[in-house]
Structure 1
Amino acid sequence: MARRLGILIFGATGYTGKVVVEKILTLSNKVENLSWGVAGRNENKLKELLAEVSKKTGQSLKDVEVVVANVGDEVSLKNMTKKCKVLINCVGPYRHWGEQTVKACIETGTHHVDVSGEPEYMERMQLLYHKAAEEKGVYVISACGFDSLPAEIGCLHFMQQFDGDVNSVETFLQMKNKKQKGPAINYATWECMVHGLANAKDLRPIRKQLFPERLPPMTPKLKPRGSVFNNPVGKGWCMPFLGSDQSVMRRSQYFFHDKKGQRPVQVQCYFSVTALSTVITFIIVGAMFNLLTKYKWGQKLLLKHPKIFSFGFVGSSDEGPDEESRKRTEFNMTFIGDGWSEKRTAGQQHTSLPDTKVVTKISGVDPAYGVAAIGALLCANTILSEADKMPSRGGVYPPGAAFFDTSLMAQLEANGVKFEVVEKRKVSNNKL
């Protein structure tokens, strides 16, 4: 049997795939003997991509393996996945195209990493394929891009600040780019958002099967703050974050409770903006988006005219944010929460209010694509190098559950993601 590549990037000619190809050059300079290749449905476009990246970086890519595969062709998918140890899947929307690739990976003994932010797809894959992946010794890990790796690994960092139990954490995401010109996200991301919200109703029956036993009620209970409220960590306003962070983080907490006997951490996620006009814009776009995704004709309108319905925030089907604008985009995510300095055994409730408050933060640049690309690559490389530190011997997991015992956090920090403790202090402790 031919030697397998370490990492194969599927969907390499897409917007995100191209960034992953560029970032793997940086990673391969740090990781000794990392072999990799590119895959997609058009051989000529793949070769053109490699020539373009080679010209841009000055590195020769003539020996990079090119693999042709199509999500509509099961045989080609299996032939592709046989060629690598870990596949990074950049072909979305994953609701439509993800399952075929996951299935091929499991059948050929190949680990699978993707950058999905689609809860219905991720939870359905866990429901349908966790046992098969575990038996085959294959890891299938989604949400390894900006949705929702920073939230997951940031939460692990937050949890590390407690010697005892964590009660709750709230996340506050802020993005900054004062010179934003043109679209901020590409069309494929918008397409995933449209299909994700349109099919949100499918989540309930999946979750009932995936988590037949609900997590125990926690005291004190963390309640949602509301639709719009003053930013508790800076200037401006906050609103609920409608991305996949909360659903992914809760899956990890379910794992920690079920498999490790830990008290599950309550989670709420928000994003913050400084200008009231931005709040108004989000409300208008959100209301319109929510209404139109309920109808087939509305979904077609959103997909046909992304610039109009996103107020220019999204590019057309062949357009994405330019590289300079991406480099100017900064993000920070603040974690605020509380817990106890004393640890209780599994199932034993605390009799007093939390006695410790902690505030942590993670930050970086080019979150939606740069962080997403390097995150997916580091997740893939961690599977290659530290599978012995991951749960069981395979299975379908969210990143927090998969990588909690690995060096992934340190790797992210070494690649431009900053982790810091803003505040840690004792608070008055009264009986419940």
Structure 2
Amino acid sequence: MPELRTDVEIIVADVSVEESLAIMCQQGVVILNCVGPYRFYGQPVVKACIANGAHYIDICGEPQFLERMQLEHHTKALDRGVDVIGSCGFDSVPADLGVLYTQKQFKGKNRRLSQPLRTIEPFPSLFSFGLFTKSGPTLEQIEDTCFSVTLFGEGCSEGSDPTQGRPNAKICTQVIGAEPGYVATVSALVQAAVTLLNELHSLPRRGGVYTPGAASHKTSLLDRLHKHSIKFSVRNYQ
């Protein structure tokens, strides 16, 4: 095996060894957990972060794990002042923050939001007809791939009574970005971590288990993402 050379210190930790996770968390402010499947390997890292005072961010796309962490660890994280923010990758950031963006741009009372299937080009995994394999995409494939997520909202315009009649205003927003797995997810994860480091005062509470949208709706994360491969815009407003 070739020797790994880096100027950054490497801390070796094993999810099956509690002490090694504790040592890792004691040396970090924010732990970015990219080791999955999270239902097998995620909870020990969450527990170690909470016990040792390190904030936690992951790129999980497993709803069962995310819900379990919230149910089992929110109170402990809140008591310890540790923020646990799950699903800060492509699986949730475009949709979760896209909803926040749409609500902020809607001029009136928003009632309903919907999101169609993502229109990734070209489709990865099963939808790529073998183009992407377990060995990963080539650099050329990464550079030629992008994603687009469209959200539709409707509600009552400014000045109208939301309890009377049908919604009379609509909005269509779009989230676009670079290749989702190796570029957009990395950007989203890193910018979520930077936001957490710099804007703890803007989070809903000091500590707890949250989604990206719930944690960062009062922060600059949307602006940060807009500068790093993930852009939000209003396509149509009626």
The residue number in structure 2 matching 1:138 is: 82
The residue number in structure 1 matching 2:237 is: 424
338, 342, 346: which one aligns with 2:154 = 338
Matches within 5 A, 1:295-306: none
Q: Separation in 1 of the partners of 2:19 and 2:147?
A: 41
The structure whose residues are more often helix, as a share, is 1
Q: Separation in 2 of the partners of 1:114 and 1:343?
A: 42
The residue number in structure 2 matching 1:315 is: 133
Q: Separation in 2 of the partners of 1:336 and 1:66?
A: 45
RMSD of equivalent CA atoms: 2.2
- Residue 63 of structure 2 corresponds to residue 90 of structure 1: no
For 1:81, give the aligned amino acid. C
155, 164, 186: which one aligns with 2:99 = 155
* CA deviations over 1:360-402 (Å, ceiling 9, x no partner): 1111111122110110111111110001000111100011110
- Residue 194 of structure 2 corresponds to residue 381 of structure 1: yes
CA shift in 2, pair 1:313/1:129, >3 Å: farther
For 1:354, give the aligned amino acid. P
CA shift in 2, pair 1:83/1:343, >3 Å: farther
Stretches of 4+ moved more than 6 A in 1?
Answer: none
For 2:89, give the aligned amino acid. G
Q: Which runs of 5+ in 1 are unaligned?
A: 1-43, 52-60, 186-280, 283-309, 426-432
- TM-score, with length taken from structure 2: 0.93
**Are the equivalent residues in 1 in contact too, given 2:97–2:213 (CA < 8 A)?**
yes
**Are the equivalent residues in 1 in contact too, given 2:109–2:162 (CA < 8 A)?**
no
- Give the 3-state SS of the residue equivalent to 2:90 in structure 1: coil
The residue number in structure 2 matching 1:174 is: 119
Q: Separation in 2 of the partners of 1:341 and 1:100?
A: 48
**Are the equivalent residues in 1 in contact too, given 2:58–2:86 (CA < 8 A)?**
yes
The residue number in structure 2 matching 1:220 is: none
What percent of counterpart residues are identical?
39
Q: Separation in 1 of the partners of 2:214 and 2:164?
A: 28
Matches within 5 A, 1:13-412: 48=4, 51=5, 61-62=6-7, 64-172=8-116, 173-177=118-122, 184-185=124-125, 311-312=129-130, 315-316=133-134, 319-342=135-158, 350-412=163-225
**Are the equivalent residues in 1 in contact too, given 2:188–2:225 (CA < 8 A)?**
yes
Larger radius of gyration: 1
CA shift in 2, pair 1:141/1:313, >3 Å: farther
Report the count of equivalent residues.
Answer: 237
For 1:107, give the aligned amino acid. A
Q: Separation in 2 of the partners of 1:313 and 1:112?
A: 34
* CA deviations over 1:276-325 (Å, ceiling 9, x no partner): xxxxx86xxxxxxxxxxxxxxxxxxxxxxxxxxx8526533xx1112221
Q: Separation in 2 of the partners of 1:155 and 1:332?
A: 14
Q: Which runs of 5+ in 2 are unaligned?
A: none
